[in-house]
Amino acid sequence: MSVINLDHMSANPLLPEVQEAMIAAIRENLGNPSSQHRLGERAAELLDESRAAVAALVNASVSREIVFTSGGTEAVNLAIKGVAWAKSDEGKGKHIVTSNIEHNAVIRSLRRLKLMGFTVTSVPVDERGRVNPETVAKAIRPDTILVSIMHGNNEIGTIQPVKEIAAVCKEKKVLYHCDAVDTVGVLPVDVQEMGVDLLSFASNPFYGPTGVGGLYVRRGVPIWSLFDGGVQENRKRAGTENLVGIAGMAEAARLAARDMGARAAHTRKLRDLFLSKLPEYLSDYGINGDPENCLPNLVSVSVHHVEGESVVLMLDDEGFAVSTRSACASGSLRASHVLLSTGLGFADCQGTLVITFGIDNTEAEVMKFLAALKTSVTTLREISPLYKNGQGVPQ
């Protein structure tokens, strides 16, 4: 069965040009960029070119501010743990500020650091999922060494006021790491204009391969490696490079820089179509996130009186891929911490679908999906003890 993919957040398809760049790197049989002889020259050249392309995408002032990683999760872990260890080794303190709606890579990196003697303050968000920069300012203490607050949220799409948060951090002389995994290559991201010290990203959100990502580290920011060994990646990440993946990410970065606007316009059109037609297909639902500051490709909809997991499974049977949350968190039965943080009730959290559009989706697919969604929800509500005669039963 051909499947209509409305879960691009889990896995974007590789662009044809990205596939070709990776295949060329495979066929070329590149050497080792660290070699002393000419067999490594082409590899070193490809690595340099790739770093320049990725640096350009986020407007790093020099290429060597980009550290290639094995993905967004590694980048986030390197940023948070690397800075925490380096700063605490300098005796600057062990306190970190974050928000209640971060990705698990951030939350669990911080949980790990707590086991190592660090302390964490997590600031709340409003009902739209926005962090207030003033709350961040109040949370910063004399022993605060790092603030880690994301750019675009992967479950509700809310864009944070990163520039304002960065200004607070700069004033308080605290380093700022921004998890921008779901915005780099999707929306314009300019590390200099934003004023961040560290910024994590991954290649797949802009149609590059999985298992590749990067971390922007502003020159002079102290950071310990997660991997010690060789002197690769400007001594910030030891180990022979994944050149095939890096070549793919670089090509994806070049294309994203060129096509990002058109892609966002396309998914925004599909998103708007979906939202405008939804009332004709569904009753009793709520849209999560911030309608004014949001990712252009994501809709989070809480369908009352149903279980999201059941909807996902029914839609899967009908050939539609959607999600209840990020793939990284799937398998967990707990309600989304992001939705709970916005004040949503437990039952509505469980009834939430995350729909992420991609450049390969069409308006016709959106219309088909709306019809399938209606059928699934109607069927599930009919068999639910929580929903009788067209309305929810008070619990």
Site pattern 186..205 for a second copy (x: CB under 8 A) = ----------------x-x-
Distance CA 269, CA 309 (A): 27
User: Given the rule CB under 8 A, which of 147-155, 222-230, 281-289, 298-306 is the region that contacts a second copy?
Assistant: 222-230
102 or 290, CB closer to a second copy? 102
231 near a second copy (CB under 8 A): yes
The token pair at 149 is 């607050």
Please say if 328 is a catalytic residue: yes
What is the footprint of a second copy within residues 40-69 (CB under 8 A)?
A: 40, 43
Q: Which of 169, 294, 328, 349 is catalytic?
A: 328
Decide if residue 351 touches a second copy (CB under 8 A): no
Pairwise CA distance, residues 242 & 244, whole Å = 6
Binding mask 69-88 for a second copy (x = CB under 8 A): -xxxxx-xx-------x---
Within residues 6-25, the interface with a second copy by CB under 8 A covers 7, 10-11, 13-14, 19, 22-23
The yes or no reply on residue 214 touching a second copy (CB under 8 A) is: no
| Minimum distance from residue 323 beta carbon to a second copy (Å) | 6
Which residue in 245, 226, 295 sits closest to 76, CA to CA? 226
Closest Cα partner for 176 from 186, 191, 187, 190?
A: 191
Footprint on residues 106-135 left by a second copy (CB under 8 A) = 108-109, 111-112, 115-116
Q: Is 361 in the site for a second copy (CB under 8 A)?
A: no
Closest CA to 128 of 293, 335, 350, 298: 293
Instruction: Determine which residue in the list 56, 273, 328, 359 makes contact with a second copy, applying CB under 8 A.
Output: 328
Query: Of 35 and 362, which CB lies nearer to a second copy in the complex structure?
Result: 35
Which are the contacts of 206, defined by CB distance < 8 A and separation ≥ 6? 12, 184, 185, 186, 252, 253, 255, 256, 260
154 part of the interface to a second copy, by CB under 8 A: no
Q: Among the residues of the chain, which ranges form H helices?
A: 16-28, 41-58, 72-89, 104-115, 133-139, 162-172, 191-194, 232-235, 243-281, 308-317, 337-341, 346-350, 363-382
257-316 residues in contact with a second copy (CB under 8 A) are 309, 312-313, 315-316
Taking the least distance from each CB to a second copy, the nearer of 238 and 287 is 238
How is 81-120 classified by DSSP, letter by letter?
Answer: HHHHHHHHHTT---EEEEETT--HHHHHHHHHHHHTT-EE
Q: Which stretch binds a second copy (CB under 8 A): 154-162, 215-223, 234-242, 254-262?
A: 234-242
Q: Does 227 engage in binding with a second copy (CB under 8 A)? A: yes
The position carrying tokens 């998890």 is 179
Q: Which residue has 């080794």 as its token pair?
A: 89
Q: Are 217 and 55 in contact (CB under 8 A)?
A: no
Residue 190 or 309: the one with the smaller Cβ distance to a second copy is 309
Residues designated catalytic: 328
